[in-house]
Amino acid sequence: MRPRAMTKLTFGAAAAATLGLLATLAPTADAHQPSGHKPELKRIGYFTQWGIYGRNFQVKDLETSGTAAKFSHINYAFGVVGPDGKCLMGNAPGSDPWADYVRPVDAATSVDGVGDTADQRLAGNFNELRELKAKNPGLKVMISLGGWSGSAHFSDAVRTDAGRKTLVASCIDTYIKGNLPVDGARGGAGAAAGLFDGVDLDWEWPGSDGAPGNVIRPEDKPNFTKLVREFRTQLDAYGRSLPKAQRKHYELSAYVPTAPAKIDAGFEVAKIMRDFDFVNLQGYDFHVSGEKTTAQQSALFAKDDFSVDQTVKAWLRRGAPAHKLVVGMPFYGQGWTGVSGGGDGLGQPATGPAPATWVAGSEDYKYLKKLADSGTYKLYRGYRNGHAWLFDGTNLWTYDDPTVLRTKASYVRQNGLGGAMVWSLDGDTPDGELITAIDRGLTRR
């Protein structure tokens, strides 16, 4: 089982020193977008491989909650890049073939109501996602590579042209062609063929600090551009090589940071955006529970601080087309305990991360909703800033609820952006309260 620490924790208050004053005008549609071009807004959700264990969040829950019908893309988190510079299964830290395609799923847990048999080649989450796509023909599934705890080997893997070609070829072989390692009756050539519709790069972060121990090099920035180009080249070539009736465009995306310093250290924005279909902007973890002072983690607007609006403008200024920018939204909150100083609790000293269900300082929305309804906490809103927080005098949680998400979705729609992305699907209520709010905000006219 992979730890919840793989949520996208990226930077703390110290990074705020890199942030200058930003213009306050709302972003406009980009000049690269053809006149009258109004692509359907994307709705992208990350499904965590390890969520099937402690959280007992299964692929079937996306169908029974009505969530799958509201999404355009499901990103499967995560595929692993191993120390040998290849996409690997079974012989790299974080890899879990049992969850991916070996685990038998019974009829009660299966999307189609039919249990896996001992002799079928594809089982587990992969088979359930295939069944989910069959019930939702417009739904696409992307493999997300890396993650906060899985980005250690990117820098080494992409240092040379040969290394980039090897990495990309191995990822396409494993996930796009579906050639899985044999595990008993499971796997083999083409076992997962047709499941994944593209690749999401989740390197955290090229050229700047990520998880402790990650290799970082100045040349990560141009090498990332070359990696993106290699993925685009090989994905296009494979899509064209298929029989005529099966030819398709495989999508390419990435999860990218909010901090201007991190953008400039690792991303040649104008170049990479030519090859990406879209990118998912970090829209959360602006401040985290490991910091000594409480703060917002996902505000839409904030003065002299990280915010969704600041992130959007930072990418637009560097040459990203507006319609390729998808705004990340959290289905969890950041929390502190030992908060002193009174008032509404925000901007006050704290003694540490607040107790939580799975990992201290990080709590799923479905549990925060119960706190909000308990009468013990008071709900505060920054209506203009687009964020909310709960405070009981000692513990503070900053998070997005349906009201905040509708506001953010409207911001996406009104500013010609590409859509909304959520981390992660297992944080929502059983009836999909949060995705419903986003969906309504994106579709309202």
pLDDT at 137 over 50: yes
Stretch 230-237: mean pLDDT: 98
Q: pLDDT-derived band of residue 37, with 50, 70 and 90 as boundaries?
A: very low
DSSP state at residue 6: G
Local structure of 271: helix, strand or coil: helix
Under 8 Å between Cβ of 195 and 129: yes
Each residue of 313-368: pLDDT tens digit? Answer: 999 999 999 999 999 999 999 999 999 999 999 999 999 999 999 999 999 999 99
> pLDDT value at position 405?
97
Distance CA(78)–CA(2), nearest Å, equals 10
Residues 6+ apart with CB under 8 A from 142: 73, 74, 75, 76, 196, 197, 198, 199, 200, 251, 253
| pTM exceeds 0.95 for this model | no
> pLDDT value at position 21?
31
pLDDT at 15 over 80: no
Q: pLDDT-derived band of residue 69, with 50, 70 and 90 as boundaries?
A: very high
Q: pLDDT-derived band of residue 9, with 50, 70 and 90 as boundaries?
A: very low
pLDDT at 295 over 70: yes
How far apart, in Å, are the Cα atoms of 421 and each of 13, 229, 282, 378? 24, 23, 9, 28
pLDDT at 87 over 80: yes
pLDDT at 19 over 60: no
Stretch 53-67: mean pLDDT: 97
Stretch 167-194: mean pLDDT: 98
> pLDDT value at position 25?
34
pLDDT at 27 over 90: no
Under 8 Å between Cβ of 208 and 197: no
pLDDT at 56 over 80: yes
> pLDDT value at position 93?
78
How far apart, in Å, are the Cα atoms of 40 and each of 37, 67, 71, 323, 436? 10, 17, 11, 10, 17
pLDDT at 32 over 60: no
> pLDDT value at position 445?
54
pLDDT at 112 over 80: yes
* Residue indicated by tokens 């972003």: 27
> pLDDT value at position 11?
36
430, two tokens: 């059983």
90 vs 331, more confident: 331
pLDDT at 30 over 90: no
120, two tokens: 């079928």
Interhelix angle for 433-443 vs 402-414, to 10°? 30
How far apart, in Å, are the Cα atoms of 249 and each of 12, 66, 239, 277? 38, 27, 6, 10
Stretch 284-299: mean pLDDT: 98
Does residue 433 carry a catalytic annotation? no
Instruction: Give the least confident one: 33-47, 100-114, 162-176, 285-299.
Output: 33-47
Alpha helices, H only, 172-268: 220-241, 260-266
Stretch 193-213: mean pLDDT: 97
How many other C-beta atoms lie within 10 A of the C-beta of residue 245? Answer: 5
Distance CA(213)–CA(269), nearest Å, equals 26
Instruction: Give the least confident one: 12-16, 114-118, 173-177, 398-402.
Output: 12-16
> pLDDT value at position 36?
35
* Most confident listed range (83-97, 318-332, 380-394): 318-332
- Structural domains of the chain, with CATH: 39-281 (3.20.20.80)
Among residues 128, 131, 204, 363, the one annotated as catalytic is: 204
Each residue of 403-429: pLDDT tens digit? Answer: 999 999 999 999 999 999 999 999 999
> pLDDT value at position 23?
34
What's the angle, vertex CA 278, arms to CA 219 and CA 43, rounded to 5?
A: 135
pLDDT at 435 over 90: yes
Chain mean pLDDT for the chain: 91
